[in-house]
Amino acid sequence: MRTLAGVEDEEKWLAEGIAGIQHNAFFMHRALDANNLREVLKYSALMLSELRTSKLSPQKYYDLYMRAFDQLRQLEIFFKDESRHGLPVVDLYELVQHAGNILPRMYLLCTVGSVYIKSKQAPSKDVLKDLVEMCRGVQHPIRGLFLRSYLAQVSRDKLPEIGSDYEGDANTVIDAVEFVLQNFTEMNKLWVRIQHQGPGTVREKQEKERNELRDLVGKNLHVLGQIEGVDLEMYKETVLPRVLEQVVNCKDKLAQYYLMECIIQVFPDEYHLQTLEALLAACTQLMPTVDTKIVLTQLMDRLSNYAASSPDVLHEFLQVEAFAKLSNAIGKVIDTQLEMPIVGAMTLFVSLLTFTLRVHPDRLDYVDQVLGACVVKLSSVPKLEDARAMKQVVALLSAPLEKYSDIVTALTLSNYPRVMDHLDDGTNKVMAMLIIQSIMKNDSCISTADKVEVLFELIKGLIKDLDGTNVEELDEEDFQEEQNSVARLIHMLDNEEPEEMLKIIYVVRKHLMTGGPQRLPFTVPPLVFSAVRLVRQLEAQGGDIAGEDVPATLRKIFQILNQTIEALSSVPCPELALRLYLQCAEAASDCDLEPVAYEFFTQAFILYEEEIADSKAQVTAIHLIVGTLQRINVFGVENRDTLTHKATGYSARLLKKPDQCRAVYACSHLFWVDDPEGIKDGERRALRIANAAQQMVNATRGSSGPVTLFVEILNKYLYFFEKGNPHITPSDIQSLIELINTEMLSDNGNTTIHSDPFFSSTLRYIRFQKQKGGLMGEKYDLIKL
């Protein structure tokens, strides 16, 4: 019923009201022109009577009010000019009070009152006091609000504030404040009253309407904030207590929320700081339905910004013990407002923490205290399930990370991991990722085993499967991303001191080993390399660590390495393990630990034989083995023979001929190490292997690309030739070149395109060497092309 028809009717009523105003304004203007006071008063009162309507919504009423307001400006000009109406202003002040209806009477009285003050024939405080008192007669909420707002407006420039014309012996800024406070109090009462009138069914509408009116009330606070001469003392003793009293006593959630917001926004930061206690006490007394957290959050934001604005003000914060007070207040609010959702409490903690971090960056105990309070709150509720609350917790935990670029600081917060415990697994991971990213971003190095222990405790969500995690839910990409991060993190754990580093490695290993087969492939390599790095460091120092002898330590490390890599077999992940074994072997070799290196090779070979079945993987593995073996020089003849033969043997047993060929000629290097004291015993063997390779090529004839292989072999020949292997003669090379030429001819039309440039480059190289002359040139001269 009240919906559409209501809107139309309202339009009609508004139109009628406007017409009424215009009609009477017309006659009023005529009387103004004639300087006929009696008529002016009559028509202005009639005009203002239009504002007596109860039919309009606040918005429409405002429209009407503004029209009357414009007219009142004209009237004020008339009242100001005594020569026009011929009456002293004090008489005028009485005369307008003869009007029978209160609303027009009060509008006129306010208008004359403003003239009266301006004339300075009476102390402004008396006039103001009278006006604000007389306005009590209008108890209708909307009409009263607009009337008082009119009063506030016309009096705004006539307050006896410091520096104004109206300040004087009898009129002090106190009077100005009193006036505004009283007007504010009355307006707020009226505003709150709207809520309690009318049936419950239109509550929602009323709330909307009230929201439209709130700025009328808030304006008073703005004025208070602007009055010159309200110093801290006065604010503390008069202004704030009175405003807060009104806020608390009105027991209305809309008003309380809005006014608290206003207070926080309107008055200067340092006032807030100095009156924190009162302000916070008020916060704890607000209605339970008021969103206190937003209020507090805003307050803390402002204070934080204030603290950030200048370092000079920080001591003020200390002086008033801002943190303790805020912390207390928040505790109280959370305790008393039982219905507050957990997300609310978390938001508060986040704000408090932000505040703490900005204002007291040096007070880690404060930060820890906040987190501690958070833990207490979280413990009191069942498992956290609200996504928004979770988000807040993440924000809470991230804040210290952002502030203290050095993650180490965060690690000393004892409550930090306890808060993390309350996160669900997904969020826990997100948080862990954030921690890692923070470490990466700041390039901070975690250098003690204890801290590493704490850190891994924090990120355990990434390190191992937590109870109840549904593995199938995991997104493959996310998982990889996470594990890569962990891997990167491991590299950030570093200490110059080998002993400590060793401890770190122990700790890391302990944690990583719990990770399960899916994580190990990601986490083991960095651990291994980290250990290997330690090994090399020790080796480079050559010294001992605190009494223990180096080899023993090294052996211990290698043992750990061995066990660590072995863990990969459970994955299984043979290729990776193989690579790691080879790395370790190399490291061991550098340390002159032949048995250890041998052991690693053995492990690698076992893996190759037993686990690597794929032919391509085999090829790769062989090349790795050969490469590593070639570089290792720690082995005695016997061990070396065993290993090289094994490797050669594997090569020859590869599945495809080209692979065999390539592997074999790679093996040739094992017998010829280009090193002054290197092993050259195998020079003959190298050639033999080269030949063997050649034969294998022959075997591949008919299939694609034997020529390429020949060219590759030719390159090997040249290599050994240059290195001075006596078994490679120019004639061998020559015959090979011829062979290639023949092959190319016979193969013509076939796929020689690839090998052709390679071959011609090789030939060009030979020619170049010939021309270069010198020792090498002479050698090459023997080769006839």
Partner 1 sequence: MNFLLGAFKPACNISITFTDGKNRKQVPIKKDNGQIVMNPLFQSQETIAGKIHIDPYQGKKVEHNGVKVELLGQIEMYFDRGNFYDFTSLVRELDVPGEIYERKTYPFEFSSVEMPYETYNGVNVRLRYVLKVTVTRGYAGSIVEYQDFVVRNYVPPPPINNSIKMEVGIEDCLHIEFEYNKSKYHLKDVILGKIYFLLVRIKIKNMDLEIRRRESTGAGANTHVETETLAKFELMDGAPVRGESIPVRVFLTPYDLTPTHTNINNKFSVKYYLNLVLVDEEDRRYFKQQEITLYRLKEETS
Q: Which of residues 562-621 bind partner 1 (CB under 8 A)?
A: none
Contact 149, 216 (CB under 8 A): yes
List the one residue from 85, 118, 125, 189 that touches partner 1 (CB under 8 A).
Answer: 189
Integer Rg of the chain from CA? 45
Contact 405, 442 (CB under 8 A): yes
Q: What is the 3-state secondary structure (H, E, C) of 555-584?
A: HHHHHHHHHHHHHHHHCCCHHHHHHHHHHH
List the one residue from 8, 33, 94, 592 that touches partner 1 (CB under 8 A).
Answer: 94
Decide: is 143 part of the binding site for partner 1 (CB under 8 A).
yes
Decide: is 193 part of the binding site for partner 1 (CB under 8 A).
yes
Decide: is 513 part of the binding site for partner 1 (CB under 8 A).
no
Decide: is 103 part of the binding site for partner 1 (CB under 8 A).
yes
Q: Mark residues 369-408: x for contact with partner 1 by CB under 8 A, - for none.
A: ----------------------------------------
List the one residue from 134, 440, 560, 571 that touches partner 1 (CB under 8 A).
Answer: 134
CA distance 85 to 303: 55
List the one residue from 113, 141, 160, 400 that touches partner 1 (CB under 8 A).
Answer: 141
Q: Which of residues 43-72 bind partner 1 (CB under 8 A)?
A: 52
Q: Which of 335, 316, 315, 248 is nearest to 276 (CA)?
A: 316
List the one residue from 197, 211, 615, 703 that touches partner 1 (CB under 8 A).
Answer: 197
Q: Which is nearer to partner 1, 42 or 464 (CB)?
A: 42
Q: How many C-beta atoms lie closer than 10 Å to residue 379's C-beta?
A: 10
CA distance 633 to 147: 100
Closest CB 341 distance from partner 1, rounded Å = 34
List the one residue from 30, 73, 136, 616 that touches partner 1 (CB under 8 A).
Answer: 136
* Vertex 696 angle, CA 694 and 699, to 5°: 115
Closest CB 135 distance from partner 1, rounded Å = 9
CA distance 346 to 359: 20
Closest CB 185 distance from partner 1, rounded Å = 12
Contact window for partner 1 (CB under 8 A) among 92-100, 221-229, 302-310, 503-511: 92-100
Contact window for partner 1 (CB under 8 A) among 39-47, 189-197, 264-272, 741-749: 189-197
The amino acid at 783:
I
Decide: is 100 part of the binding site for partner 1 (CB under 8 A).
yes
Decide: is 102 part of the binding site for partner 1 (CB under 8 A).
yes
List the one residue from 98, 208, 441, 767 that touches partner 1 (CB under 8 A).
Answer: 98
Contact window for partner 1 (CB under 8 A) among 101-109, 406-414, 551-559, 685-693: 101-109
CA distance 387 to 314: 36
List the one residue from 22, 121, 139, 541 that touches partner 1 (CB under 8 A).
Answer: 139
Strand partners for 703: 701
Burial of 775 (0-12, 13-18, 19+ CB in 10 A): exposed
Contact window for partner 1 (CB under 8 A) among 130-138, 532-540, 549-557, 683-691: 130-138
Beta-carbon contacts of residue 595 (< 8 Å; ≥ 6 apart) = none
Q: Which is nearer to partner 1, 137 or 777 (CB)?
A: 137
Closest CB 15 distance from partner 1, rounded Å = 23
| Residue 474 region by backbone torsions, left for phi larger than 0, else alpha for psi between -120 and 50, else beta | beta
Q: Which is nearer to partner 1, 141 or 417 (CB)?
A: 141
Q: Which is nearer to partner 1, 190 or 647 (CB)?
A: 190
Decide: is 137 part of the binding site for partner 1 (CB under 8 A).
yes
Q: Which of 688, 626, 630, 633 is nearest to 659 (CA)?
A: 626
* Helix-helix angle 683-700:657-667, to 10 degrees: 170
Decide: is 101 part of the binding site for partner 1 (CB under 8 A).
yes
Contact window for partner 1 (CB under 8 A) among 141-149, 482-490, 589-597, 614-622: 141-149
Closest CB 251 distance from partner 1, rounded Å = 13
CA distance 109 to 92: 9
The amino acid at 42:
K
Contact window for partner 1 (CB under 8 A) among 55-63, 102-110, 289-297, 377-385: 102-110
Q: Which of 119, 67, 68 is nearest to 93 (CA)?
A: 119
Q: Which is nearer to partner 1, 155 or 630 (CB)?
A: 155
Q: Which is nearer to partner 1, 144 or 515 (CB)?
A: 144
Q: Which is nearer to partner 1, 80 or 129 (CB)?
A: 129
Beta-carbon-side half-sphere exposure of residue 626 (alpha carbons within 13 Å): 24
Closest CB 172 distance from partner 1, rounded Å = 24
Q: What is the 3-state secondary structure (H, E, C) of 472-525?
A: HHCCHHHHHHHHHHHHHHHHHECCCCHHHHHHHHHHHHHHHHHHCCCCHHHHHH
Tokens representing 298 are: 């805003």
Closest CB 458 distance from partner 1, rounded Å = 57
Tokens representing 594 are: 């032949």
CA distance 113 to 90: 9
Tokens representing 651 are: 């090569």
Contact 740, 752 (CB under 8 A): no
Q: Which is nearer to partner 1, 12 or 136 (CB)?
A: 136
Contact window for partner 1 (CB under 8 A) among 95-103, 461-469, 524-532, 623-631: 95-103
Contact 65, 146 (CB under 8 A): yes
Contact window for partner 1 (CB under 8 A) among 93-101, 282-290, 475-483, 706-714: 93-101
Q: Which is nearer to partner 1, 195 or 485 (CB)?
A: 195
Query: Among positive and negative, which fits the CA dihedral 417, 420, 421, 425?
Result: negative
CA distance 93 to 107: 12
List the one residue from 75, 110, 115, 138 that touches partner 1 (CB under 8 A).
Answer: 138
Q: Which is nearer to partner 1, 22 or 97 (CB)?
A: 97
Beta-carbon contacts of residue 116 (< 8 Å; ≥ 6 apart) = 89, 90, 92, 93, 122, 127
Decide: is 17 part of the binding site for partner 1 (CB under 8 A).
no
Closest CB 170 distance from partner 1, rounded Å = 22
Closest CB 46 distance from partner 1, rounded Å = 15
Contact window for partner 1 (CB under 8 A) among 133-141, 276-284, 563-571, 668-676: 133-141
Closest CB 171 distance from partner 1, rounded Å = 22
List the one residue from 9, 82, 133, 215 that touches partner 1 (CB under 8 A).
Answer: 133
Closest CB 141 distance from partner 1, rounded Å = 7
Q: Which is nearer to partner 1, 142 or 557 (CB)?
A: 142
Closest CB 94 distance from partner 1, rounded Å = 6
CA distance 159 to 128: 8
CA distance 272 to 355: 14
The amino acid at 284:
T
Q: Which is nearer to partner 1, 193 or 536 (CB)?
A: 193
Closest CB 29 distance from partner 1, rounded Å = 24
Beta-carbon contacts of residue 647 (< 8 Å; ≥ 6 apart) = 622, 625, 626, 629, 667, 670
Q: Which residue in the block uniquely carries the two structure tokens 């200067």?
A: 268
Decide: is 140 part of the binding site for partner 1 (CB under 8 A).
yes
CA distance 147 to 153: 10
Q: Which of residues 660-699 bind partner 1 (CB under 8 A)?
A: none
Strand partners for 548: 545
Residues contributing to the site for partner 1 (CB under 8 A) = 52, 94, 97-98, 100-103, 105, 133-134, 136-141, 143-144, 189, 193, 197
